[in-house]
Amino acid sequence: MRSLVDRTVDLLIIGGGIIGAGIARDAALRGLSVALVEQNDFASGTTSRPTRLIHGGLRYLELFDFGLVRSDMREREILLRIAPHLVFPLPFLLPMYRPSLWYRFKLRVGMFLYDLLSLDKSLPRRAWLDRAETLAAEPSLDPDGLVGAWRFYDAQVPLVEQLVIENLLDATKGGAIVLNHARAVEYVREGARVTGARVRDEVAGHDIAVRARMTVNATGPWLDRPIAGLRPRATPLLRLTKGIHIVTPRATAHAHVLFAKRDGRIFFVVPWRGLTIVGTTDTDYEGDPADAAATEDDVRYLQAEARRAFPDAPFDTILFTWAGIRALVREEGVSEGEVSRKHALYDHERRDGILGLLSVVGGKITAYRDIAEEVVDRVAGKGTRSRTAEVTLPGAGTGAARTVTSALCRHDPTTAEDIARAVRDEWAMTIGDALLRRTTLGLAPCQGLDCLEGVADHMARLLGWDATRRAAEIAAYRREIEPMRRFSVE
Ligand SMILES: Cc1cc2nc3c(=O)[nH]c(=O)nc-3n(C[C@H](O)[C@H](O)[C@H](O)COP(=O)(O)OP(=O)(O)OC[C@H]3O[C@@H](n4cnc5c(N)ncnc54)[C@H](O)[C@@H]3O)c2cc1C
């Protein structure tokens, strides 16, 4: 934090989710001086709670949002290229059951458009599988009334947390200063201009003023909170909706797009790291996004719909859940599912007469690079050009495969050296940072509980924790994963 005293950076970014991290990288690659502050851990907000797809979203075709689908497809192609170690092609099946002629026609047109809007893609095109071919590809599908399935390709980012970290690592290579567990508590102002923010180090407990020529609010679903003081009595910019996922033992061979019987909504069943993710729900949400958790209703809804589609698959066993809050551009008079997923940049100068501040409203992970480019174009002006579509992320081409010598836990390949790297090079400061967002141990069925004492010993040595602090950190980790394990069946 000390490195920020007595200087003014070109750009201060508040929020270390995928959008903030993407902005930091883009700006640093263009030579801007950058600071980024994150109140909790990088990627600990909505970014670590999605379906983990890099996709155009078939659903948006129904809403005639062709522009959004087209640009997401372009971004999918870019991410497959710049992050081939983190973003992978994923084949999907879209099974059809006794469809009406109209429904059959609608899906055929949808599939045609999905291919058309990504003509320049490297992924295979759609194909129709008849009933026998569909059941051969996915034997656990309910065969009753099945006529066949469309197979098409999208992409998956199984460890989106690492995508955030690699954006930040690249940003720091370009000189950016990134602060983890550092909350922007209020904007610093000179008259009508925002000139930075007062930032609290949540670990050490002291504040500093970070001065900046431009500040970007990239706080996702928290957005209305930090700017509330600047826009008294104004309507919120966001509509918040909650979506949950359940994680179960491996249930299917393919990823599936399915229509829920109860309400006709689209939901996904997706293979993920040897397990299966089922999601998501979409319900209006109020309150602190940090408190979001799955409810009994959410879980039973997904379980019932997944069981209908795959009657014999192991959906009774829930390993854990996660719940995330969508930050959607506020639109009145439409249902949760109909609100556009397109982002918007909110210019406080034009709307509220406040200079030096820009807010990012909404935006998918898929679009993060493009959103970051748009933000930095606005901040840096026409004289600079984004390079993020061409420059690969730091982990690309480093041969991510490695020999596991001594894993900490029998369910997961994470080693003591991985934890050390997380602390030394990737800003991990708590057990949750290291297990949930730097390594895969917290995303294994046991979530690291089987080896928690050993991990705590190791981190205590690395970070100089005494016995009291070590015990407090273990308790904090247990509290952090408790909402994820409320429905766990061991
Ligand atoms: C259920 C669900 C499923 C989804 N699935 C997909 C998908 O499959 N594919 C896809 O592309 N998108 C998906 N999305 C959307 C995607 O996850 C989000 O749009 C994206 O993660 C938003 O990133 P963000 O950086 O804006 O927000 P966040 O990740 O929430 O980051 C904002 C950060 O700001 C920090 N912050 C807040 N206040 C302060 C402060 N005062 N000081 C410092 N820091 C602060 C927070 O701690 C947080 O880390 C999904 C979303 C949900 C909810």
pLDDT per position as a tens digit, 423-438:
999 999 999 999 999 9
Instruction: Tell me what pLDDT residue 336 has.
Output: 60
Lowest mean pLDDT of 60-69, 100-109, 114-123, 175-184, name the range: 60-69
Question: What is the pLDDT at residue 241?
Answer: 95
Tens digits of residue pLDDT in 370-387 = 999 999 999 998 789 999
Distance 101 CA to ligand 1 centre (A): 39
What is the per-residue pLDDT for 490? Answer: 64
pLDDT beyond 70 at 2: no
pLDDT in tens, 145-195: 999 999 999 999 999 999 999 999 999 999 999 999 999 999 999 999 999
Ligand 1 centroid distance, CA of 196 (Å): 22
Write the DSSP symbol of residue 126. Answer: P
Can you state the percent helix, strand and coil of the chain, rounding each to 5? 35, 25, 40
Give the separation between CA 371 and CA 364, rounded to whole angstroms: 9
Higher pLDDT, 116 or 249: 249
More confident residue, 63 or 415: 415
The letter for the amino acid at 5 is V
Residue 137, both tokens: 């590809």
Q: How far is the CA of 220 from the centre of ligand 1 (A)?
A: 5
3-state SS, residue 76? helix
Q: Of 100-114, 144-158, 308-322, 391-405, give the lowest mean pLDDT range.
A: 391-405
The Cα angle at residue 251 between residues 318 and 53, in degrees rounded to 5: 85
User: Distance, CA 262 to ligand 1 centroid (Å)?
Assistant: 28
Say yes or no: CB of residue 12 within 6 Å of ligand 1: no
Ligand 1 close to Cβ of residue 15 (< 6 A): yes
Q: CA end-to-end span of the chain, whole Å? A: 43
Pocket lining: 196 vs ligand 1, CB cutoff 6 Å? no
52 lines ligand 1 (CB under 6 A): yes
Question: 157 CB less than 6 Å from ligand 1?
Answer: no
Kindly state the average pLDDT of the residues 57-64: 71
pLDDT digits (tens, 9 = 90+) for 16-53: 999 999 999 999 999 999 999 999 999 999 999 999 99
Whether the Cβ atoms of residue 4 and residue 210 lie closer than 8 Å to each other: yes
pLDDT of residue 107: 83
The finding on whether 366 has its CB within 6 A of some atom of ligand 1 is yes
Ligand 1 within 6 A of CB of 321: no
* Region 91-119 average pLDDT: 87
DSSP letter assigned to residue 446 = T
In this prediction, residues 96-111 reach a mean pLDDT of 85
